[in-house]
Structure 1
Amino acid sequence: MENRDVEKNISSYDRSSTFFYCDPPYYGLADYKSQGSKPFSKEDYVRLKECLSKIQGKFLLSINDHPEIRELYSEFNINQVEVRYSVCRTKVVRPGSYSLAIIKSGWFNENPSSPHRSLGLV
Protein backbone atom coordinates (compact mmCIF):
# COMPACT_ATOMS: atom_id res chain seq x y z
CA MET A 1 0.00 0.00 0.00
CA GLU A 2 1.21 3.40 -0.90
CA ASN A 3 -0.21 6.86 -0.51
CA ARG A 4 0.48 8.10 -4.04
CA ASP A 5 -1.51 9.14 -7.06
CA VAL A 6 -3.32 6.18 -8.63
CA GLU A 7 -1.68 6.63 -12.04
CA LYS A 8 1.81 6.71 -10.54
CA ASN A 9 1.14 3.65 -8.41
CA ILE A 10 -0.31 1.57 -11.21
CA SER A 11 2.33 2.54 -13.78
CA SER A 12 5.12 1.75 -11.27
CA TYR A 13 3.97 -1.81 -10.63
CA ASP A 14 2.18 -2.84 -13.83
CA ARG A 15 3.47 -6.10 -15.30
CA SER A 16 1.63 -8.98 -16.98
CA SER A 17 1.88 -10.87 -13.67
CA THR A 18 0.61 -8.00 -11.48
CA PHE A 19 -2.74 -8.18 -9.70
CA PHE A 20 -4.24 -4.85 -8.56
CA TYR A 21 -6.98 -4.72 -5.95
CA CYS A 22 -8.67 -1.32 -6.10
CA ASP A 23 -11.07 -0.11 -3.43
CA PRO A 24 -11.83 3.56 -4.11
CA PRO A 25 -14.26 5.54 -1.95
CA TYR A 26 -17.95 4.82 -2.55
CA TYR A 27 -19.16 6.75 -5.57
CA GLY A 28 -21.72 9.51 -5.09
CA LEU A 29 -22.09 9.16 -1.33
CA ALA A 30 -19.65 11.71 0.06
CA ASP A 31 -16.40 13.43 -0.75
CA TYR A 32 -13.64 11.27 0.67
CA LYS A 33 -10.46 12.85 1.98
CA SER A 34 -7.55 11.25 3.71
CA GLN A 35 -5.25 13.35 5.83
CA GLY A 36 -3.95 16.25 3.78
CA SER A 37 -5.46 15.14 0.49
CA LYS A 38 -8.14 16.58 -1.74
CA PRO A 39 -11.50 14.78 -2.13
CA PHE A 40 -11.76 11.87 -4.59
CA SER A 41 -13.62 13.54 -7.46
CA LYS A 42 -15.61 12.25 -10.43
CA GLU A 43 -12.55 12.97 -12.55
CA ASP A 44 -10.51 10.68 -10.26
CA TYR A 45 -12.93 7.80 -10.93
CA VAL A 46 -12.54 8.41 -14.68
CA ARG A 47 -8.73 8.54 -14.35
CA LEU A 48 -8.76 5.26 -12.42
CA LYS A 49 -10.87 3.58 -15.12
CA GLU A 50 -8.67 4.91 -17.92
CA CYS A 51 -5.57 3.74 -16.12
CA LEU A 52 -7.02 0.25 -15.51
CA SER A 53 -8.04 0.05 -19.18
CA LYS A 54 -4.38 0.21 -20.20
CA ILE A 55 -2.72 -2.17 -17.75
CA GLN A 56 -0.90 -5.36 -18.68
CA GLY A 57 -1.87 -7.06 -15.41
CA LYS A 58 -5.19 -7.95 -13.88
CA PHE A 59 -7.42 -6.06 -11.49
CA LEU A 60 -10.39 -6.42 -9.21
CA LEU A 61 -12.19 -3.22 -8.31
CA SER A 62 -14.81 -3.18 -5.56
CA ILE A 63 -17.17 -0.25 -5.40
CA ASN A 64 -20.79 0.55 -4.58
CA ASP A 65 -23.43 -0.20 -7.20
CA HIS A 66 -24.21 3.07 -8.97
CA PRO A 67 -25.55 3.61 -12.53
CA GLU A 68 -22.68 5.97 -13.45
CA ILE A 69 -20.09 3.41 -12.31
CA ARG A 70 -21.85 0.69 -14.33
CA GLU A 71 -21.72 2.94 -17.40
CA LEU A 72 -18.09 3.95 -16.82
CA TYR A 73 -16.93 0.32 -16.49
CA SER A 74 -19.31 -1.18 -19.07
CA GLU A 75 -16.42 -2.65 -21.11
CA PHE A 76 -15.40 -4.85 -18.15
CA ASN A 77 -17.03 -7.81 -16.42
CA ILE A 78 -19.32 -6.46 -13.70
CA ASN A 79 -20.65 -8.71 -10.96
CA GLN A 80 -23.18 -7.59 -8.38
CA VAL A 81 -22.28 -8.79 -4.89
CA GLU A 82 -24.56 -8.75 -1.88
CA VAL A 83 -23.01 -6.81 0.99
CA ARG A 84 -23.43 -7.86 4.60
CA TYR A 85 -22.73 -5.08 7.05
CA SER A 86 -21.42 -6.34 10.37
CA VAL A 87 -20.63 -3.10 12.19
CA CYS A 88 -23.94 -3.28 14.04
CA ARG A 89 -23.22 -6.93 14.98
CA THR A 90 -26.45 -8.19 13.44
CA LYS A 91 -24.96 -8.99 10.02
CA VAL A 92 -28.25 -7.99 8.43
CA VAL A 93 -28.46 -7.54 4.70
CA ARG A 94 -30.03 -4.18 4.02
CA PRO A 95 -32.35 -4.04 1.01
CA GLY A 96 -30.44 -2.59 -1.91
CA SER A 97 -27.07 -3.16 -0.23
CA TYR A 98 -25.01 -4.25 -3.18
CA SER A 99 -21.48 -3.70 -4.25
CA LEU A 100 -19.87 -4.30 -7.61
CA ALA A 101 -16.88 -6.46 -8.36
CA ILE A 102 -15.40 -5.22 -11.64
CA ILE A 103 -12.84 -7.47 -13.27
CA LYS A 104 -10.56 -7.12 -16.26
CA SER A 105 -12.06 -8.80 -19.31
CA GLY A 106 -10.87 -12.29 -20.16
CA TRP A 107 -9.97 -13.24 -16.60
CA PHE A 108 -12.88 -15.54 -15.87
CA ASN A 109 -12.50 -19.24 -15.31
CA GLU A 110 -14.53 -20.93 -18.02
CA ASN A 111 -15.39 -23.92 -15.78
CA PRO A 112 -19.13 -23.41 -15.08
CA SER A 113 -19.02 -25.69 -12.04
CA SER A 114 -16.41 -23.58 -10.26
CA PRO A 115 -17.83 -21.98 -7.07
CA HIS A 116 -15.70 -18.89 -7.71
CA ARG A 117 -16.65 -18.45 -11.37
CA SER A 118 -18.94 -15.50 -10.68
CA LEU A 119 -16.02 -13.48 -9.41
CA GLY A 120 -13.44 -14.90 -11.80
CA LEU A 121 -11.13 -15.80 -8.96
CA VAL A 122 -10.01 -19.17 -10.26
Structure 2
Amino acid sequence: MARDSGGHHDPLGTGLTPVDPAKPVAPYIGGKRNLARRLTAQIEATPHTLYIEPFVGMGGVFFRRRLRPRCEIINDLSGDVANLFRCMRSHPGALVELVSLQLQSRADFDRHMCEDPTTLTDLQRAARFVYLQRSAFGGKVSGRNFGVRTDGPSRFRASEVGADLIAAARRLEGVTIEQLSWSDCIARYDRAGALFYLDPPYFGCETDYGADLFGRAEFAAMAEQLGRLKGRFILSLNDRPEVREIFAAFDIEAVDTHYGLAGGGARPAREVIIIGGG
Protein backbone atom coordinates (compact mmCIF):
# COMPACT_ATOMS: atom_id res chain seq x y z
CA MET A 1 0.00 0.00 0.00
CA ALA A 2 1.44 3.34 -1.07
CA ARG A 3 1.74 6.31 1.23
CA ASP A 4 1.90 9.98 0.38
CA SER A 5 4.76 12.16 1.60
CA GLY A 6 2.85 12.87 4.82
CA GLY A 7 2.59 9.16 5.66
CA HIS A 8 -1.11 8.84 4.82
CA HIS A 9 -2.40 5.69 3.19
CA ASP A 10 -2.78 5.97 -0.58
CA PRO A 11 -4.26 2.59 -1.58
CA LEU A 12 -4.63 3.41 -5.27
CA GLY A 13 -1.26 5.12 -5.71
CA THR A 14 -3.00 8.20 -7.09
CA GLY A 15 -1.77 10.78 -4.59
CA LEU A 16 -5.28 10.84 -3.10
CA THR A 17 -6.08 9.49 0.35
CA PRO A 18 -9.35 8.10 1.77
CA VAL A 19 -11.65 10.41 3.70
CA ASP A 20 -15.00 9.78 5.35
CA PRO A 21 -17.81 11.44 3.38
CA ALA A 22 -20.29 13.65 5.21
CA LYS A 23 -23.79 14.93 4.53
CA PRO A 24 -24.32 18.54 3.47
CA VAL A 25 -25.72 20.31 6.53
CA ALA A 26 -28.69 21.82 4.71
CA PRO A 27 -30.59 21.52 1.44
CA TYR A 28 -29.52 23.89 -1.31
CA ILE A 29 -31.18 24.43 -4.64
CA GLY A 30 -29.06 22.82 -7.36
CA GLY A 31 -27.29 20.68 -4.75
CA LYS A 32 -26.31 17.89 -7.21
CA ARG A 33 -27.58 15.05 -5.03
CA ASN A 34 -28.68 13.07 -8.09
CA LEU A 35 -25.36 13.43 -9.92
CA ALA A 36 -23.00 13.37 -6.94
CA ARG A 37 -21.90 9.75 -7.37
CA ARG A 38 -21.05 10.25 -11.02
CA LEU A 39 -19.29 13.55 -10.42
CA THR A 40 -17.25 12.29 -7.48
CA ALA A 41 -16.14 9.27 -9.50
CA GLN A 42 -15.03 11.59 -12.31
CA ILE A 43 -13.17 13.83 -9.85
CA GLU A 44 -11.43 10.92 -8.15
CA ALA A 45 -10.38 9.46 -11.52
CA THR A 46 -8.67 12.73 -12.50
CA PRO A 47 -5.10 13.05 -11.19
CA HIS A 48 -4.67 16.18 -9.07
CA THR A 49 -2.72 17.51 -6.11
CA LEU A 50 -4.96 20.49 -5.38
CA TYR A 51 -8.80 20.50 -5.41
CA ILE A 52 -10.85 23.69 -5.67
CA GLU A 53 -14.59 24.39 -5.78
CA PRO A 54 -15.34 28.00 -6.80
CA PHE A 55 -19.12 27.52 -6.23
CA VAL A 56 -19.23 25.22 -3.20
CA GLY A 57 -22.78 26.05 -2.05
CA MET A 58 -23.66 23.53 0.67
CA GLY A 59 -20.96 21.16 -0.55
CA GLY A 60 -23.21 18.65 -2.27
CA VAL A 61 -20.23 17.23 -4.17
CA PHE A 62 -17.41 18.27 -1.85
CA PHE A 63 -18.70 16.41 1.21
CA ARG A 64 -19.60 13.24 -0.71
CA ARG A 65 -16.10 12.63 -2.06
CA ARG A 66 -14.26 9.63 -0.63
CA LEU A 67 -10.73 10.53 -1.75
CA ARG A 68 -8.90 13.80 -1.25
CA PRO A 69 -5.57 15.39 -2.17
CA ARG A 70 -3.45 17.01 0.52
CA CYS A 71 -4.73 20.52 -0.33
CA GLU A 72 -8.39 21.54 -0.74
CA ILE A 73 -9.98 24.96 -1.29
CA ILE A 74 -13.70 25.73 -1.09
CA ASN A 75 -15.09 29.08 -2.18
CA ASP A 76 -18.41 30.85 -2.43
CA LEU A 77 -19.16 34.52 -2.99
CA SER A 78 -22.19 34.25 -0.70
CA GLY A 79 -21.42 35.75 2.69
CA ASP A 80 -23.87 33.34 4.35
CA VAL A 81 -22.15 30.29 2.87
CA ALA A 82 -18.58 31.41 3.59
CA ASN A 83 -19.47 32.45 7.14
CA LEU A 84 -21.23 29.14 7.83
CA PHE A 85 -18.22 27.08 6.80
CA ARG A 86 -15.81 29.25 8.79
CA CYS A 87 -17.99 28.86 11.90
CA MET A 88 -18.37 25.11 11.33
CA ARG A 89 -14.63 24.66 11.17
CA SER A 90 -13.65 27.00 14.01
CA HIS A 91 -16.58 26.82 16.47
CA PRO A 92 -18.61 23.66 15.78
CA GLY A 93 -19.67 23.12 19.40
CA ALA A 94 -20.92 26.67 19.84
CA LEU A 95 -22.75 26.53 16.52
CA VAL A 96 -24.47 23.26 17.43
CA GLU A 97 -25.52 24.77 20.76
CA LEU A 98 -27.14 27.74 19.01
CA VAL A 99 -28.85 25.53 16.44
CA SER A 100 -30.24 23.29 19.19
CA LEU A 101 -32.32 26.21 20.51
CA GLN A 102 -34.31 26.45 17.25
CA LEU A 103 -37.79 25.04 16.69
CA GLN A 104 -39.71 24.37 13.47
CA SER A 105 -42.12 27.29 13.68
CA ARG A 106 -43.58 29.58 11.05
CA ALA A 107 -43.26 32.50 13.47
CA ASP A 108 -39.53 31.80 14.00
CA PHE A 109 -39.04 31.36 10.26
CA ASP A 110 -40.68 34.71 9.53
CA ARG A 111 -38.67 36.40 12.29
CA HIS A 112 -35.37 35.10 10.90
CA MET A 113 -36.38 36.11 7.38
CA CYS A 114 -36.80 39.71 8.58
CA GLU A 115 -33.33 39.83 10.14
CA ASP A 116 -30.42 41.54 8.42
CA PRO A 117 -27.69 38.86 8.63
CA THR A 118 -24.93 41.48 8.58
CA THR A 119 -26.12 42.79 11.97
CA LEU A 120 -25.68 39.40 13.67
CA THR A 121 -22.58 37.82 15.15
CA ASP A 122 -20.88 35.25 12.92
CA LEU A 123 -22.31 32.37 14.95
CA GLN A 124 -25.82 33.85 14.98
CA ARG A 125 -25.64 34.38 11.25
CA ALA A 126 -24.50 30.79 10.66
CA ALA A 127 -27.27 29.36 12.88
CA ARG A 128 -29.85 31.52 11.10
CA PHE A 129 -28.70 30.35 7.68
CA VAL A 130 -28.80 26.67 8.62
CA TYR A 131 -32.26 27.09 10.13
CA LEU A 132 -33.67 28.88 7.09
CA GLN A 133 -32.19 26.40 4.61
CA ARG A 134 -33.43 23.40 6.57
CA SER A 135 -36.88 24.95 7.05
CA ALA A 136 -37.45 26.48 3.61
CA PHE A 137 -39.30 24.66 0.87
CA GLY A 138 -36.97 22.93 -1.58
CA GLY A 139 -33.71 24.40 -0.26
CA LYS A 140 -34.44 27.70 -2.00
CA VAL A 141 -32.11 30.62 -1.29
CA SER A 142 -33.83 33.47 -3.11
CA GLY A 143 -37.57 33.73 -2.40
CA ARG A 144 -37.66 31.28 0.52
CA ASN A 145 -41.01 29.96 1.74
CA PHE A 146 -41.71 28.09 4.97
CA GLY A 147 -41.84 24.37 4.24
CA VAL A 148 -44.33 22.09 6.00
CA ARG A 149 -44.36 18.29 5.81
CA THR A 150 -47.61 16.38 6.23
CA ASP A 151 -46.09 12.94 5.67
CA GLY A 152 -43.40 12.84 8.35
CA PRO A 153 -41.40 14.77 10.95
CA SER A 154 -40.72 18.48 10.51
CA ARG A 155 -38.00 19.61 8.13
CA PHE A 156 -35.91 21.06 10.97
CA ARG A 157 -34.87 18.65 13.74
CA ALA A 158 -32.17 20.12 15.96
CA SER A 159 -30.56 16.82 17.01
CA GLU A 160 -30.22 15.65 13.40
CA VAL A 161 -28.80 19.01 12.31
CA GLY A 162 -26.30 18.97 15.18
CA ALA A 163 -24.97 15.54 14.21
CA ASP A 164 -24.61 16.61 10.58
CA LEU A 165 -22.77 19.79 11.62
CA ILE A 166 -20.24 17.91 13.74
CA ALA A 167 -19.50 15.39 10.97
CA ALA A 168 -19.14 18.11 8.34
CA ALA A 169 -16.99 20.24 10.66
CA ARG A 170 -14.58 17.32 11.07
CA ARG A 171 -14.35 17.03 7.29
CA LEU A 172 -13.41 20.72 7.03
CA GLU A 173 -10.26 20.33 9.10
CA GLY A 174 -7.35 21.49 6.96
CA VAL A 175 -9.60 22.95 4.25
CA THR A 176 -9.07 26.56 3.15
CA ILE A 177 -12.28 28.61 2.94
CA GLU A 178 -12.47 31.59 0.58
CA GLN A 179 -15.10 34.19 -0.32
CA LEU A 180 -14.01 35.30 -3.78
CA SER A 181 -15.65 35.67 -7.13
CA TRP A 182 -15.36 32.47 -9.16
CA SER A 183 -12.96 34.23 -11.54
CA ASP A 184 -10.65 35.46 -8.78
CA CYS A 185 -10.73 32.02 -7.17
CA ILE A 186 -9.61 30.36 -10.41
CA ALA A 187 -6.91 32.97 -11.03
CA ARG A 188 -5.54 32.61 -7.51
CA TYR A 189 -5.29 28.83 -7.43
CA ASP A 190 -4.72 27.79 -11.04
CA ARG A 191 -1.51 25.81 -11.51
CA ALA A 192 -0.34 22.46 -12.83
CA GLY A 193 -1.93 19.70 -10.76
CA ALA A 194 -5.01 21.75 -9.82
CA LEU A 195 -8.50 20.38 -10.40
CA PHE A 196 -11.48 22.73 -10.32
CA TYR A 197 -15.02 21.46 -9.96
CA LEU A 198 -17.43 24.22 -10.99
CA ASP A 199 -21.15 24.15 -10.26
CA PRO A 200 -22.42 27.59 -11.30
CA PRO A 201 -26.11 28.56 -11.38
CA TYR A 202 -28.02 26.92 -14.20
CA PHE A 203 -28.29 28.82 -17.45
CA GLY A 204 -31.56 30.74 -17.25
CA CYS A 205 -31.60 30.58 -13.43
CA GLU A 206 -28.75 32.95 -12.69
CA THR A 207 -30.51 34.84 -9.88
CA ASP A 208 -31.62 31.77 -7.88
CA TYR A 209 -28.86 32.37 -5.32
CA GLY A 210 -29.22 36.14 -5.11
CA ALA A 211 -29.61 39.00 -7.57
CA ASP A 212 -26.00 40.18 -7.50
CA LEU A 213 -23.97 36.96 -7.27
CA PHE A 214 -23.87 35.80 -10.90
CA GLY A 215 -24.88 37.14 -14.31
CA ARG A 216 -25.52 35.40 -17.62
CA ALA A 217 -22.62 37.16 -19.33
CA GLU A 218 -20.27 35.39 -16.93
CA PHE A 219 -20.70 32.07 -18.73
CA ALA A 220 -18.78 33.36 -21.75
CA ALA A 221 -16.13 34.87 -19.48
CA MET A 222 -15.86 31.53 -17.71
CA ALA A 223 -15.33 29.63 -20.96
CA GLU A 224 -12.61 32.08 -21.97
CA GLN A 225 -10.81 31.80 -18.62
CA LEU A 226 -11.09 28.01 -18.53
CA GLY A 227 -9.56 27.89 -22.01
CA ARG A 228 -6.35 29.35 -20.54
CA LEU A 229 -6.27 27.02 -17.52
CA LYS A 230 -3.00 25.42 -16.41
CA GLY A 231 -4.85 22.86 -14.33
CA ARG A 232 -7.93 20.80 -15.19
CA PHE A 233 -11.64 21.37 -14.65
CA ILE A 234 -14.97 19.56 -14.44
CA LEU A 235 -18.04 21.76 -14.93
CA SER A 236 -21.69 20.74 -14.52
CA LEU A 237 -24.58 22.69 -16.05
CA ASN A 238 -28.07 22.20 -17.43
CA ASP A 239 -28.14 21.03 -21.03
CA ARG A 240 -29.09 24.03 -23.14
CA PRO A 241 -28.12 24.93 -26.72
CA GLU A 242 -26.57 28.14 -25.39
CA VAL A 243 -24.42 26.17 -22.95
CA ARG A 244 -23.18 23.82 -25.67
CA GLU A 245 -22.33 26.79 -27.88
CA ILE A 246 -20.47 28.72 -25.16
CA PHE A 247 -18.42 25.71 -24.05
CA ALA A 248 -18.05 24.07 -27.48
CA ALA A 249 -14.24 24.08 -27.22
CA PHE A 250 -14.33 21.44 -24.46
CA ASP A 251 -15.50 17.83 -24.09
CA ILE A 252 -19.23 17.77 -23.34
CA GLU A 253 -21.10 14.71 -22.05
CA ALA A 254 -24.90 14.67 -21.62
CA VAL A 255 -26.27 13.04 -18.47
CA ASP A 256 -29.90 12.16 -17.75
CA THR A 257 -31.18 13.19 -14.33
CA HIS A 258 -34.30 14.72 -12.82
CA TYR A 259 -35.19 17.98 -11.18
CA GLY A 260 -37.68 18.61 -8.42
CA LEU A 261 -38.01 20.63 -5.23
CA ALA A 262 -38.41 18.63 -2.03
CA GLY A 263 -41.98 17.40 -1.79
CA GLY A 264 -42.80 18.74 -5.24
CA GLY A 265 -42.27 15.66 -7.37
CA ALA A 266 -39.61 15.27 -10.02
CA ARG A 267 -39.37 15.66 -13.77
CA PRO A 268 -36.84 14.22 -16.22
CA ALA A 269 -34.03 16.56 -17.18
CA ARG A 270 -30.62 16.49 -18.78
CA GLU A 271 -27.40 18.06 -17.65
CA VAL A 272 -23.95 18.23 -19.18
CA ILE A 273 -20.59 17.46 -17.65
CA ILE A 274 -17.91 19.57 -19.34
CA ILE A 275 -14.26 18.61 -19.04
CA GLY A 276 -11.09 20.38 -20.10
CA GLY A 277 -7.89 22.08 -19.06
CA GLY A 278 -4.16 21.70 -19.39
| Equivalent residue, structure 2, for 1:26 | 202
Query: Is 1:98 aligned with 2:274?
Result: no
Structure 1 residues 84 and 69, CA gap change in structure 2 (3 angstroms) = same
Give the CA deviation at 1:42: 1.6
| Equivalent residue, structure 1, for 2:182 | 6
Q: Distance in 1 between matches of 2:270 and 2:193?
A: 30
Q: Distance in 1 between matches of 2:213 and 2:187?
A: 22
Paired residues for 1:1-122 under 5 Å: 1-2=74-75, 3-34=179-210, 38-85=212-259, 87-88=262-263, 94-95=267-268, 97-104=269-276
Give the CA deviation at 1:50: 1.2
Identity of matched residues, %: 33
Q: Distance in 2 between matches of 1:32 and 1:54?
A: 28
Structure 1 residues 105 and 9, CA gap change in structure 2 (3 angstroms) = closer
Contact 1:77–1:105 (Cα < 8 Å) also in 2: no
Which deviates more, 65-74 or 46-55? 46-55
Q: Distance in 1 between matches of 2:271 and 2:239?
A: 5
Give the CA deviation at 1:29: 3.2
Structure 1 residues 31 and 78, CA gap change in structure 2 (3 angstroms) = same
Give the CA deviation at 1:32: 3.1
Give the CA deviation at 1:105: 6.1
Task: Give CA-to-partner distance per residue, 1:40-75, whole Å, 9 cap, x none.
Answer: 212111111111111100000000001000000111
Give the CA deviation at 1:89: 9.4
RMSD over aligned CA atoms reads: 2.3
Q: Distance in 1 between matches of 2:216 and 2:229?
A: 21
* Contiguous gaps of at least 5 residues in structure 2: 1-73, 76-178
TM-score (norm. length: structure 1)? 0.71
Contact 2:234–2:273 (Cα < 8 Å) also in 1: yes
Q: Distance in 2 between matches of 1:63 and 1:51?
A: 17
Q: Distance in 2 between matches of 1:53 and 1:71?
A: 14
Q: Distance in 2 between matches of 1:83 and 1:16?
A: 32
| Equivalent residue, structure 2, for 1:116 | none
Contact 2:226–2:277 (Cα < 8 Å) also in 1: no
Contact 1:20–1:59 (Cα < 8 Å) also in 2: yes
SS in 2 for 1:49: helix
Q: How many residues were matched structurally? A: 101
SS in 2 for 1:47: helix
**Greater share of residues in helix:** 2
Structure 1 residues 15 and 32, CA gap change in structure 2 (3 angstroms) = same
SS in 2 for 1:68: helix
Q: Distance in 1 between matches of 2:264 and 2:237?
A: 22
